[in-house]
Amino acid sequence: MKFNHICIIGLGYIGLPTACMLANKVVKVTGVDSNPDVIKSLIDGQVHIHEPGLQEVAEKALHTGGLHVSDRPVEADAFIIAVPTPFYDDKKADLSYVRSAAEAIVPVLCKGNLVVLESTSPPLTTQNIVLPILERSGLKAGEDFQLAYSPERVLPGQILRELVENARVIGGIDEASAQAGKELYRIFVKGEIILTDATTAEMVKLMENTCRDVNIAIANEFSRLADRFGVDVWEAIQIANRHPRVKILNPGPGVGGHCISVDPWFLVEAAPDLTPLIRTAREVNDAQPEFVVTLLERVLHGVKGKKITALGLAFKQDVDDLRESPAVEVVHNLVKAGAVITTYEPFKTGFQIEGVTAAKSLEEALAEADCLLLLVGHTQFRSLLPSTIAKTTKARIAVDTVNGWKKDEWQAAGFDFYRLGDRKSKPE
Ligand SMILES: NC(=O)c1ccc[n+]([C@@H]2O[C@H](COP(=O)([O-])OP(=O)(O)OC[C@H]3O[C@@H](n4cnc5c(N)ncnc54)[C@H](O)[C@@H]3O)[C@@H](O)[C@H]2O)c1
């Protein structure tokens, strides 16, 4: 199949890097987004999200490559849908973006086209939701056009490299669709391309993230057990992991982001009778921010009125993505408990939480604190020198929820140091 023109719907963390990759491979690409601000900033040559290297490849794609932006799909050889798939408050999948993206393709869908859904989706979405919408065009899936599902499995912060190098799964509604998908992604993917059916590909993505969520849940439970039994969970995990068949993940303040904290619910919704473990793991991880609050209540002898500086709000280190972030949840819970919170998120300094002071600089964040609370292991925070920090803050208590700081260094600099899941980390 020849792909001269590809239309990508949704220009976020996934769609925009993919559009740039293709456009810089001398393919004409139309990038579509329903958000006028996204379109405007790209027309101005500005990338609206933080991802290392993306600004440069986007500039190249927009100025010298084949990337054009539009607010609606145009006729093309292939369409890639990369729109959000969040959940509602009741944890049910919100497929409205997928539906509206598929509906927008209908008027421009032509014989011989390929459509690929990349958005993480509940099992059977390609077959039971996208396919019937596209057939409103009067064309028949598998006969007149091809349809596949290909999940994105990249790591934020590494997206440009992983898009090219990662193994990619492509599930077709039939073999020809999977094969067409392979030819499309071969334009820029160097990793292995594995073909299967659409529903298996949907399951693969959900299983990967669910597996991680369940494994983090057990690490988080271990942190609570260690706290109760006077153990340092980080030391215990390190020792356990020396067993050749054990690989315990790291605990932390919870699980966030657009993927791992969301995707398991798609399986729970699809088959509640078969997923008690998956549901429980989600509940364990969702309760972890409250465990952080309990820790602070203990070390500060109550948080009411205490000035706490929360370092980091992103859902993980070195990214600007705050979606479903447990750090934000910790801050919300601390505010509810009466603490006086200042936040500092270097990747989104303007981000405002009600009732909280958002510091514009680290210096401003540190100045008035009683307690420093490390919520995200950003490189900038990991590399802080406690001896220098001690001169810029009156706080003498440091609480580390991500194992980002060295206990002995903070203690040597005069801090009472506490770490999540580490009951040995009392001040000397
Ligand atoms: N971000 C990640 O690291 C990651 C990793 C793997 C999978 N995914 C999955 O990929 C999908 C996309 O995620 P993302 O992080 O890129 O989302 P995002 O929110 O960063 O970007 C999605 C974009 O789609 C646009 N959009 C929404 N509806 C539209 C429509 N009908 N037509 C045109 N544009 C529309 C939005 O304005 C937004 O700019 C999701 O299903 C997500 O779960 C994301």
DSSP for 194-243 reads EEEEHHHHHHHHHHHHHHHHHHHHHHHHHHHHHHHHT-BHHHHHHHHTTS
pLDDT for the residue numbered 35:
98
pLDDT for the residue numbered 26:
77
| pLDDT tens, residue by residue, 22-32 | 999 978 999 99
pLDDT band at 4 (very low <50, low <70, confident <90, very high): very high
Residue 222 placed within a domain: no
Residue 177 placed within a domain: yes
Q: Do residue 415 and residue 300 come from a single domain? A: yes
Residue 223 placed within a domain: no
* Catalytic-residue membership of 259: yes
Q: Do residue 137 and residue 262 come from a single domain? A: no
Of the listed 259, 316, 371, 407, which one is catalytic? 259
Q: Do residue 262 and residue 389 come from a single domain? A: yes
CATH number of the domain at 390, please: 3.40.50.720
Say whether pLDDT at 427 is over 70.
no
Q: Do residue 75 and residue 189 come from a single domain? A: yes
CA of 12 to the centre of ligand 1 (A): 5
Residue 349 placed within a domain: yes
Say whether pLDDT at 350 is over 90.
no
Averaged over 360-370, what is the pLDDT?
96
| pLDDT tens, residue by residue, 204-263 | 999 999 999 999 999 999 999 999 999 999 999 999 999 999 999 999 999 999 899 999
* Catalytic-residue membership of 7: no
Q: Do residue 395 and residue 317 come from a single domain? A: yes
12 lines ligand 1 (CB under 6 A): yes
Q: Do residue 295 and residue 200 come from a single domain? A: no
Q: Do residue 201 and residue 247 come from a single domain? A: no
| pLDDT tens, residue by residue, 117-132 | 999 999 999 999 999 9
pLDDT for the residue numbered 426:
60
Say whether pLDDT at 74 is over 70.
yes
Structural domain that includes position 315: 243-419
Of 205, 223, 256, the residue at which a domain comes to its end is 205
pLDDT for the residue numbered 428:
43
Of the listed 7, 20, 182, 205, which one is catalytic? 205
Is this model's pTM higher than 0.85 or not? yes
Report yes or no: 127 and 153 within 8 Å, Cβ to Cβ. Answer: no
Q: What is the DSSP string of 352-389?
A: --TT-EE-SSHHHHHHT-SEEEE-S--HHHHT--HHHH
Q: Which residues pair with 399 in a beta bridge?
A: 373, 418
Residue 17 placed within a domain: yes
pLDDT for the residue numbered 64:
83
Using the CB atoms, write b or e for 26-60: b if 16+ within 10 Å.
Answer: ebbbbbbbbeeebbebbeeeebbbbbeebeebbbe
